[in-house]
Structures are given as structure tokens and as C-alpha cells.
Amino acid sequence: MKRLAVYCGSASPEDPRYLELAAHVGSALAERGIGVVYGGGRLGLMGAVAKGALDAGGEVIGVIPDALANSEVANHDCTELYTVSGMHERKQRFTDLSDGFVTIPGGVGTMDELWEAMSWAQLGYHQKPVGLLNAFGFYDELIAFNAKMAQVGFVRPAHQGILIAADTMPDLLEKMASYEPHTPIFRMKADDL
């Protein structure tokens, strides 16, 4: 994996662990020679991921919608900064530029990015690993909900391994590196669906 898209919040929670985690994720990727592709902002966890990676000598590629770039939240310290027309183009660029996806704590936008990466994998728009860093148990309920969808039958057995979760970056990266793509819906026969 040469580059990973990192999905995270642009907010700065009161609990300092979240910003520290984001900076650690950025530096951990840079130290492994893995470039960061992210939302292009300088605020919150986004800014901390970028700073962590840049401070460790890593590559940081930001992708920001023009509406946000024009509101002065763009991080011009990035190795490269792309300004795109909207969120769909942003997520497409994340997919095109990265070899996988890592989601750390965040809010609604982070969930949008995670679920779209999973949905696109399930359908067959990409065959890249989709990782979830469950630091501090932040995503315990989401992991349980994903298991519930599978248990009820809304996630097919062939797609139950798309979401790769771990509590630490080393464990997550190891699991992502050994990810074997599944059979996407686009290549399934009607009887398999």
C-alpha cells in the first residue's frame, strides 16, 4: 500500500486523545512510507492527521471541495492539494489516489465516506481494503450494527469481510495488507444474490 485515504472529522473534540490519535495515525503512516490522502482541511482531526504525516516527512495529498477551499479551511501545507467541485468528485478522487481506506473517529461526513467506500467495494467499483480504527471503543456500536446487518441477511456472506476493524494502527495495517478481495455484486449471478 503506497497511499491510504484517511477519513476523519474536521472537528476538535474536547477530549485531547482524539487529536493525539489523528496525529499518531499521520505519523505512523509516514514512518511506514505510506502517503496520506485526506479531505484537505487544516482543522480538527483532519489537520492533525496531515500535520502528523508532514512532520514525519510523509506525503500528504488533500482533496477539498471548492466551497470549503474558498472558506479558508484548506491546508496549503499539503504536498499536493486538489480543489474539486463537490463531495462526489472528492470521494472519487480519494478512491483513485489511494490503495485503501482508513477511518478514524469522526462524524456524519466520516460516516458518509466510510459507508460509500464499503458500498463501492461490495458492488465492485474498487477492490481495496476498507479499514476502521476502533480507538477508545469509538466504533463498538457501529461494528455491532454491521454484524447485525449481516446476521439479518442485508450483508451477503461474501461481503461480510469488507469492513476490517482493529483497535490499533499496527493491527489494522497488518489486517489491511492481508486483505483478499471478495466477489463483487457486479460479478455475481442472480442465484447468488
Phi and psi, residue 6, nearest 5° = -110, 120
In this predicted structure, what is the pLDDT of residue 193? 64
Instruction: List, for residues 124-143, the tens digit of each pLDDT value.
Output: 999 999 999 999 999 999 99
Distance (Å, rounded) from C-alpha 136 to C-alpha 42? 24
Domain count of the fold of the chain = 1
Model pLDDT for residues 94-127, shown as the tens digit of each residue: 999 999 999 999 999 999 999 999 999 999 999 9
Which residue from 112, 91, 7 is spatially nearest to 49, judged by alpha carbons?
7
Instruction: Determine the structural domain holding residue 188 and report its residue range.
Output: 3-192
CATH at 78: 3.40.50.450
> What's the pLDDT at 188?
73
pLDDT at residue 70, rounded to an integer: 80
Q: What is the pLDDT of residue 72?
A: 73
Q: What is the pLDDT along the chain (193 residues), one digit of tens a residue?
A: 999 999 999 999 999 999 999 999 999 999 999 999 999 999 999 999 999 999 999 999 999 999 888 887 999 999 999 999 999 999 999 999 999 999 999 999 999 999 999 999 999 999 999 999 999 999 999 999 999 999 999 999 999 999 999 999 999 999 999 999 888 887 777 766 6
